[in-house]
Amino acid sequence: MAELEKCIECGKVIKDESHAPYCKKCDEKLDKHFDTIEDNILIFRELLDSEIETLKKFESEDINDLFKRVHKKFKDDNKLDNQSLIILNKLKDAFKIDEKKLGLSPIPVVKETREDRLLKNNQCPDCEKEIQKDFSLCPYCGFKLKKDK
C-alpha cells in the first residue's frame, strides 16, 4: 500500500494527486503570507528574520521574481537608499541570489548596523532609551539622531 502524502505545514493528508508539499488550505495561506511580506518590503521597507523563514518555504523562482520586483520598484521610485539596499542584500544573502543571472546590475553591499536596528525600533543608538521617530536629538543623552544630508 502506498504511503499517504502529508502536508508539511499542517500534517494533514493531501487528498489530491498533485504531489505538492502543502495541502490546498496551507498553500493558500502561504500565498497570502507571501503577498503580505512583499507589501511589508515595499511599503514599510523592512524584512524580518521570521519573514525570511517563511520565504524559505517557496521555490527559488518565486524568490527570484520577488527580488526582481522589489529591486525594480525601489529603483523606479528612486528609493535605492541604504534601507532598501539592506533589504535587497538580506534577500540576496538568505537565498544566494545572483543579480547577474537575473539580468540586474550588482547592488552595493550594505549591512544593517546596530544603530540602524535601534533606530528602526525607536531606540536611541547611544543610551538605548525609547524615543519618538521624529526626534532629531535624544532627549535623554543628547545623541544626534538625524544625520545632516
Phi, psi at residue 13, to the nearest 5°? -70, 135
What is the DSSP code (8-state) at residue 76?
A: H
Query: What does the pLDDT read at residue 1?
Result: 46
Whole-angstrom distance, CA of residue 124 vs CA of residue 69: 33
The pTM of the full predicted model, rounded to 2 decimals, is 0.75
Query: What does the pLDDT read at residue 149?
Result: 40
Backbone region of residue 142 per phi and psi (left: phi > 0; alpha: psi in -120 to 50; beta: other values): left
Whole-angstrom distance, CA of residue 121 vs CA of residue 43: 17
Number of Cβ within 10 Å of residue 148's Cβ equals: 4
Query: What does the pLDDT read at residue 116?
Result: 81
Contact 91, 74 (CB under 8 A): no
**From first to last of its 149 residues, what are the pLDDT tens digits of the chain?**
457 788 888 988 888 777 788 888 999 999 999 999 999 999 988 898 899 999 999 999 999 999 999 999 999 988 888 889 999 999 999 999 999 999 998 999 988 888 888 888 899 999 999 999 888 899 999 999 876 44
